[in-house]
Amino acid sequence: MKDDCRIGFYICNCGTNIAKVVDAEQVCERIAGLPGVACARAYKYMCSNPGQEMITRDIRERGLNRVVVAACSPRMHEPTFRKALEAAGLNPYLLEMANIREQCSWVHDDPRAATAKACDLAHAAVRRVRYHQPLEKVEASYAPATLVLGGGIAGLTVAVELAEASQPVYLVEREGKLGGNVGRADLTAPYLDSARDILAEKIARAEASPKLDILLRSELVELRGFVGNFRATVRTTGGPTRDLAVGAVVVCTGYQEFDATRIERLGYGRFPDVITSFELERRLRMGRLETDDGRIPRYVSIVHCVGSRNPRYHPYCSRVCCMTALKYGHEIKSALPAAMVTDLYVDMLSFGKGGEDFYRRTSELKTMFLMYEKGDPPRVRAAEPGDDCGLLVQVNERLSGEVIDVPADLVVLMVGMEARADGGDVARTVGISQDRQGWFIESHPKLAPVSTATEGVYIAGCCQSPKDIPDSVAQARAAAAMVLAHVAQGKIEVDARFAEIDPDRCSGCRMCNELCPYTAITFDPDERRSSVQSALCKACGTCVAACPSGAITARHFTDKQIFEQIEGVLAWSSSRSS
């Protein structure tokens, strides 16, 4: 135990998130009596500016050389409190956090038990921080070029933003042209702007930029290295394979449409006049709004949520379908004023700026809205001889409680968005994760929505989750801003927490090489020893636990620190149980 420690302890009420279950003042009193604790304070929001200033001031005035903060998860605010230590001139790695929100107050109802557990967690943090060592980050150069995967609206936006900031960009697109799914649309909701005009302007700027290298019919086959120093291997159909040095990768691979043949009762694939939303877009762009046999449709039925908001297929909302369906009402009525348009919906989601007004204007066009039960989609069948329509759409209408046959000459299925089938290959290549639906996972849904677990790899657009054009563009610009922030510095700081291998104790068994999830460990066949590339290491500890020789140490996660933490948790709890 170190005798020269002066520890400052701070507990956060987090409004009522912690304080409604944990007695912060009682925790303070117990921790204040521990050896080496120079001050103990409770505050309503430690992450706020006043809370951070309190820590900084105490470090300067009280000579603190260690800090413990009992608050939320370190994933949320550890960087915040590290900056507070740095502002006071203290090494940021002399901080330890105790998670008394997610691991205590949020999972307990008994205030006495929760307070006792919070005391144990705080005690463990105080015991551990005594053995923290000041660590220094490592600096590395940053390659200014960026690799953008996907030439849709998000990928084009990222590429153009970076190129027009005078940064070199490689834009990789698997297809033979740019535009992605937006390039398949006619007009956009809610202002009925031309999708072609939006894309034409972006594509023209991309093609005119001397900083932007567009690689069509190409794909990324391998990505090596770390943030600021990636090596990307790109293969072009009918062309050479290129090895590119890039500092960052932005994944904008978009989405694919739901396969409507999976819902047999909708008749897609059996009836030629049952079409998907993208097939209708193609007809609208061609100016040929007609049935398969060339007739002008008198009745058009639009079925919402095809493949979305259904637990059998995808439970989530695809977000754009309702607004697109309302757009079709305008386009169909404009082309065929006498046509009867019926929207069959689960819930009407007209979100965003101008959405509700667009819904009102669509209603004024005499569009009929019929509501059906989620999980009970309409059934399409051929009309009877003598009917004045080609198809009948049977819907169990929720508001009236009646089963209604809706006449239709043309049935449009609003197919939902789903993650691309090749998303798993992309994820493995760039080292990012997918959720259960196949969408790429961001680092933090609120605080880091375009970052990923792999530093230097960003995501934007519909590859992350269903979203409309404005949100895709906003996310793309956010990713470009993240890249430019690194480029402007010209170098990166590598986290000081990483594993180290003692070459004198390494047996060369290569077990760590096989287990490392970040491919951060290399093997020298001549020396028969392994070594860690610190910039790639995330200090997960897998290699440390697996090494049979005990040759690997994790900086900031030493055996002594971990054992002190364990003993700190058990010390008071064992005395209570006895």
Q: Is the predicted pLDDT of residue 574 greater than 80, yes or no?
A: no
Provide the pLDDT confidence category of residue 363 given band limits of 50, 70 and 90.
very high
Within 8 A by CB and 6+ apart from 497, the residues are 93, 135, 539, 554, 555, 556, 557
pLDDT tens digit sequence for 309-347: 999 999 999 999 999 999 999 999 999 999 999 999 999
Alpha carbon 51 to chain centroid distance?
A: 29
pLDDT tens digit sequence for 282-313: 999 999 999 999 999 999 999 999 999 999 99
Q: What are phi and psi of 222, to 5 degrees?
A: -160, 140
pLDDT tens digit sequence for 483-512: 999 999 999 888 899 999 999 999 999 999
pLDDT tens digit sequence for 241-284: 999 999 999 999 999 999 999 999 999 999 999 999 999 999 99
Provide the pLDDT confidence category of residue 444 given band limits of 50, 70 and 90.
confident
Omega before 315 cis (within 30°)? Answer: no
pLDDT, residue 375, reads: 87
pLDDT, residue 439, reads: 98
C-alpha–C-alpha distance, residues 24 and 6, integer Å: 21
Tokens (6 digits) for 563: 């054992």
Task: Decide yes or no: CATH 3.30.1330 for domain 274-407.
Answer: no
Average pLDDT over residues 38-44: 97
Q: Is the predicted pLDDT of residue 362 greater than 80, yes or no?
A: yes
The Cβ of residue 422 has, within 10 Å, a number of other Cβ atoms equal to 12
Q: Is the predicted pLDDT of residue 360 greater than 80, yes or no?
A: yes
Given this chain, do its domains 274-407 and 499-554 carry the same CATH topology? Answer: no
Task: Tell me the pTM.
Answer: 0.82
pLDDT tens digit sequence for 161-218: 999 999 999 999 999 999 999 999 999 999 999 999 999 999 999 999 999 999 999 9
Within 8 A by CB and 6+ apart from 7, the residues are 34, 36, 37, 38, 64, 65, 66, 67, 68, 126, 129, 130
Task: Please state the domain extents for the chain.
Answer: 7-135, 146-255+419-492, 274-407, 499-554
Within 8 A by CB and 6+ apart from 4, the residues are 65
pLDDT tens digit sequence for 385-442: 999 999 999 999 999 999 999 999 999 999 999 999 999 999 999 999 999 999 999 9
Average pLDDT over residues 235-240: 93
C-alpha–C-alpha distance, residues 537 and 519, integer Å: 8
C-alpha–C-alpha distance, residues 141 and 182, integer Å: 37
Output the DSSP codes for 8-64: EEEEE-TTTTTTTTS-HHHHHHHHHTSTTEEEEEEES-TTSHHHHHHHHHHHHHH--
Selection from 126, 182, 125, 122 nearest residue 152 by Cα: 182
Architecture of domain 146-255+419-492 in this structure: 3-Layer(bba) Sandwich (3.50)
pLDDT tens digit sequence for 523-555: 999 999 999 988 888 899 999 999 999 999 999
Phi-psi region of 387 (alpha: psi -120 to 50; beta: other; left: phi over 0): beta
C-alpha–C-alpha distance, residues 64 and 95, integer Å: 11
Strand partners, 415: 306
What's the CATH fold of domain 499-554?
A: Alpha-Beta Plaits (3.30.70)
Q: Is the predicted pLDDT of residue 3 greater than 80, yes or no?
A: no
Could you identify the residue written with the tokens 């009992």? 70
pLDDT, residue 351, reads: 87
Tokens (6 digits) for 80: 């915040």
Cα first-last separation, the chain? 26
pLDDT, residue 1, reads: 46
Phi-psi region of 543 (alpha: psi -120 to 50; beta: other; left: phi over 0): alpha
pLDDT tens digit sequence for 87-139: 999 999 999 999 999 999 999 999 999 999 999 999 999 999 999 999 998 88
Residue 469: in which H helix or E strand, if any? helix 469-489
C-alpha–C-alpha distance, residues 519 and 533, integer Å: 9
Give helix 111-129 / helix 24-32 axis angle, nearest 10°.
Answer: 40
C-alpha–C-alpha distance, residues 179 and 284, integer Å: 18
Cα–Cα distances (Å) from 475 to 153, 202, 277, 361, in that order, read 11, 16, 25, 29
Q: Is the predicted pLDDT of residue 576 greater than 90, yes or no?
A: no
Q: In the 3-class helix/strand/coil scheme, how is 137-179 assigned residue by residue?
A: CEEEECCCCEEEECCCHHHHHHHHHHHCCCCCEEEECCCCCCC
Q: Tell whether the torsion through CA atoms of 46, 48, 52 and 54 is positive or negative.
A: negative
Class of domain 7-135: alpha beta
Q: Is the predicted pLDDT of residue 578 greater than 60, yes or no?
A: no
Selection from 528, 523, 554 nearest residue 541 by Cα: 554
C-alpha–C-alpha distance, residues 231 and 247, integer Å: 9
